[in-house]
Amino acid sequence: MPPSTEPLRVERQVTIVEVGPRDGLQNEKHLVSTGLKLRLIRMLADCGFARIEATAFVSPKWVPQMADHDAVMRGAVRRAGLVLSALVPNEQGAQAAITAGAQELAVFTSASETFSRRNTNCTIEEGLARFVPVIALAAEHALPVRGYVSCAVDCPYEGPIEPGAAAKVVARLRDLGCAEIAVADTIGMATPERVHAMVLACLAEAEATQLAGHFHDTGGMALANVDAAWSLGLRVFDSAAGGLGGCPYAPGAAGNLRSGALVEHFASRGIATGIDSELLANVENMLADPVFLGKR
């Protein structure tokens, strides 16, 4: 009997989390209609994305683009194998997201104290304390919680972040009960060497299967940074169709890693994503048209 190929098959698979509808659109200056958001989510699901971050249950005062979060979550396409997540800042947001039908919650903190204060108006410790009831509520409803660690490599205010600082926050999110923790290069200026060091530090606190990579492409190094994280065992990565996005609280941060580029990158290496690249190209072409997002 020939040796089993199962380990190889698993090794050559990756999960891409599509964050365009939330992290991508949140920074758009022109308000995108609810109808267009729902259309985008449906098209992304048709491409084969099994995990889509649909919206954020945050205050419209701070993120006007997400003001229609309830309508988006309630109206988003539902199908077997598709998980729709929502970013939530606190217990109130979590309850609203669950009521609207979110299938996964995401909470966000930072490896930078300054960024935490600028982004959430609280310290890292105060932010983590807010997650305790969120995670308890999610557990009551048997929903997984993803934790984001912003500025895991660089901060727009503090500069380079020590790998140990990111690892410390990963450990806290692990202990709180996050099923997955995404380490983020929020301003997109990381290098593979520094990503390697950061991920290696985080692996001292969490298994590779618990970690995900979220890399912006400001410096044009996102794919190389993905490779650095892949080499250490990470198999979940975020991207946004059309490279949409940025962060309203991170000056100089450009868009997310483009989903089409990430899919093509993995395909060239024989790594399965489950995404239809032709359908995705159609979506990205539509997003490139200013009319689609209501810019003119």
Which residue in the list 47, 151, 202, 247 is annotated as catalytic? 247
Interval 23-79: pLDDT, tens: 999 988 889 999 999 999 999 999 999 999 999 999 999 899 999 999 999 999 999
- 134 φ/ψ angles, rounded to the nearest 5 degrees: -65, -50
pLDDT grade, residue 290 (50/70/90)? Answer: confident
Pick the more confident residue, 252 or 290: 290
Can you give the pLDDT at residue 9?
A: 43
Give the sign of the dihedral formed by CA 182, CA 186, CA 191, CA 193.
negative
CATH homologous superfamily for the domain 13-288: Aldolase class I (3.20.20.70)
Residue-wise burial string across 60-99, b where 16 or more C-beta atoms lie within 10 A, e elsewhere: eeebebbbbbbebbebbbeeeebbbbbbbbbbebbbbbbe
Which of 6-10, 104-108, 151-155, 256-260 has the least mean pLDDT?
A: 6-10
Per residue in 212-230, pLDDT (tens digit) is 999 999 999 999 999 999 9
- Residue 269, CB-side half-sphere exposure with 13 Å CA sphere: 16
Could you state, in order of their start, the residue ranges of all structural domains in the chain?
A: 13-288
Kindly report, residue by residue over 63-94, the tens digit of the pLDDT: 999 999 999 999 999 999 999 999 999 999 99
178 flagged as catalytic: no
Provide the sign of the torsion angle of the four alpha carbons 85, 89, 94, 96, taken in this order: negative
pLDDT for 10 beyond 50:
no
162-206 pLDDT, tens digit each: 999 999 999 999 999 999 999 999 999 999 999 999 999 999 999
Nearest Cα to Cα of residue 269 among 33, 6, 13: 13
Pairing of the two strands 211-215 and 180-185: parallel
